[in-house]
Amino acid sequence: MTTFEEAPRASLEKLIALPGRQAYDKSVRVFNLAAAPAPAAAATATTVDDVRTAVRYARQEGLGVRMHSTGHAAASGRPVGAGDLLIRTELEGGVEIDTARRIARVPAGTQWGAVIDAAQRHGLAAPHGSSGLVGVVGYLLRGGVSFYGRAKGLAVNCVRAIELVTADGQLRRVDLSSDPELFWALRGGGGGFGVVTAVDIELFAATSVVTGATYWSAVHADRILSRWLRWSRSAPPEATTAFRVMNLPPLPEIPAALTAGPVVCVDGAVLGSPGTDGAQRIADELLNPLREVGEALVDTWHAGRPSAVAQTHMDPTEPFPMYGDHLLLDELDADGAAEFLRLVGIGSGSPLVNAELRQLGGALSVPPDTGGALASLDARFAYMGGGVPFEPVTVDDIHAHCAAVREVLEPWNTGWTAPTFIDHYAQPQAHLSAETVAAVDEIRRRIDPAGLFRGDIATNATALS
């Protein structure tokens, strides 16, 4: 490959875009409109050579390198500004499935929907997030909590190899044998190592699942939550579910029955063994007592193919501004449930579109022997709350209510967080111990001694001791 200085001027102008150009606008677009970046320059890389050229350009111009692909997590990183080159990865090649080894090779910039579809054709599945539009690499390397999580663990644990271009322009392929220290740090260590260009991930057999969502009027919230919490204490690991209180806007794609006032929802997925009805039995054990509480407004639980899981959470498909908060919680008792509903339930005046308790435990709590810097979550539930500033709700209204919810949940707050649930870089967050942060920093200094990628490091150094 030619050096940056030797590259034809036309190819540089095609790759490196400055403000005011259409290519710049394409490269900086994000899904969360609350965090629009404004870098000095931007590039959309479709090949490894593009990535190398972009890294060399940043080095020559004295710019830091920042990363994003789909921009779902744009607000969770430090602001991208005038001292940065933003690289958007859309690497060519498509998803490749090795059915014998149950391995998928996924180019950076690929969305989960493409992996789900490719794996499903072979009776396989991956531990993807709740939306098929989220980028694979960012989700995985920040941990990833899927609706298969209690059975399969954190999604990052399925990564078997990572290809990346480092600050010296080299393309490296790292795994447990080639560079085990770097491989460990890349998996949950907070970024800042280079530009990931592809990952190999291990898939698992899944021909059918039971998945869906049931919605009730929020007048039933206390009884639904009580029964869901009681079930969750001994729920089998095949099931990963969530309890949600929602104030949904009157949009055409949302059923009218769900926008007339606050609703509560229980959604998720149950992974069964091929040829058995175990998943349906588990789902019935959860849902039948809940359905007795009151008439459901909408009930979509069904046995389906793995691709249906990505539709369950009803995540938005168009960019929008989101502001929110996140905590990892210990076991919620009756007082905790009551306090939660007092702040987000009916009559609370909550401006949050979504206030969610995600079931954890099971394999999510068990780090594998060969896990990375982040390999498990020691908590019973993840709380996520978020709002969108639709009139008359303002950003200040959302921030104030998030702070109030945080205050009442403090007795159950573990102090830890899950990176993929962080909405904003300034939120309190800690997912690594101080010792792990120090070890990751040492590896980062070896790989990037000049700190070319230092702006891209997640704010996880606020770790608990």
Segment 113-132 shows an average pLDDT of 94
Q: What is the mean pLDDT of the chain?
A: 92
Res 260 pLDDT > 90? no
The fold of the 10-89 domain, in CATH, is 3.30.43
Counting residues of the chain whose pLDDT is more than 70, the rounded percentage is: 95
pTM comes to 0.93
The rounded distance, in Å, linking the Cα atoms of 342 and 339 is 5
Start-end of CATH 3.30.43.10 domains in the chain: 10-89
Res 406 pLDDT > 60? yes
Start-end of CATH 3.30.465.10 domains in the chain: 96-205+431-449
Per-residue pLDDT, 465: 33
Which tokens is 377 given?
């979550």
Q: What is the CATH number assigned to the segment(s) 96-205+431-449?
A: 3.30.465.10
Which tokens is 449 given?
């001694």
Longest dimension (CA), the chain: 72
Helix, strand, coil percentages (3-state) for the chain, rounded to 5, are: 35, 25, 45
Res 120 pLDDT > 90? yes
The rounded distance, in Å, linking the Cα atoms of 148 and 128 is 8
Per-residue pLDDT, 12: 73
**In terms of DSSP bridges, do strands 84-89 and 41-45 run parallel, antiparallel, or are they unpaired?**
parallel
Segment 157-171 shows an average pLDDT of 97
Strands (E), 100-158: 103-107, 124-125
Q: What is the pLDDT of residues 373-395, one digit of tens each?
A: 999 999 999 999 999 998 899 99
**Which of 20-29, 218-227, 362-371 shows the lowest mean pLDDT across its residues?**
20-29
CA distances from 404 to 63, 354, 409 (A): 39, 15, 9
Per-residue pLDDT, 2: 42
Q: Coil, strand, or helix at residue 230? A: helix
Q: Tell me whether residue 394 is exposed, middle or buried, using C-beta atoms within 10 angstroms of its C-beta: 0 to 12, 13 to 18, 19 or more.
A: middle
Per-residue pLDDT, 274: 61
Q: What is the CATH number assigned to the segment(s) 209-421?
A: 3.40.462.20
Q: What is the pLDDT of residues 319-359, one digit of tens each?
A: 788 899 999 999 999 999 999 999 999 999 999 999 999 99
DSSP run (H or E) holding 243: strand 239-246
Start-end of CATH 3.40.462.20 domains in the chain: 209-421
Contact (CB, 8 A) for 307 and 117: yes
**What is the gyration radius of the CA atoms in the chain, in angstroms?**
22
Q: Band the pLDDT of 464: cuts 50, 70, 90.
A: very low
DSSP run (H or E) holding 337: helix 334-344
Per-residue pLDDT, 214: 97
